[in-house]
Amino acid sequence: MDLAIPREKSFAGIVIDDLVVFEVMLKSVFHQSPVTSRAGRAFLEEALGEYKRVGLLPHPDKTFFEQAD
């Protein structure tokens, strides 16, 4: 939490027990409705597949895609 934001276009991390994926995007894209992600959604879908593969069940009410706020 004390480190600078990475310079990559997308990055992920674990906060307590939650997987969080961020993607840097242009302000013009951010304000579109709906917001569409390139790498972030693909990364999260792959991670959810791995969760299921190893027997972990992601909580459907805590799984969000392409949230701008």
**Distances in whole angstroms, Cα of residue 67 to Cα of each of 4, 32, 47, 52, 54:** 22, 11, 17, 23, 27
Check residue 61 and give its pLDDT. Answer: 84
How does pLDDT run across 3-61, given as a tens digit for each residue? 777 777 777 777 788 888 777 777 777 676 666 676 777 888 888 889 889 998 888 78
Q: Is residue 69's pLDDT more than 60? A: no
- How many Å apart are CA 36 and CA 50, to the nearest integer? 23
Query: pTM surpassing 0.85?
Result: no
Our measurement of the distance from residue 55's CA atom to the centroid of its chain's CA atoms, rounded to an integer in Å, reads 21
- Rounded CA-CA distance 58/69 in Å is 21
pLDDT for res 8: 78
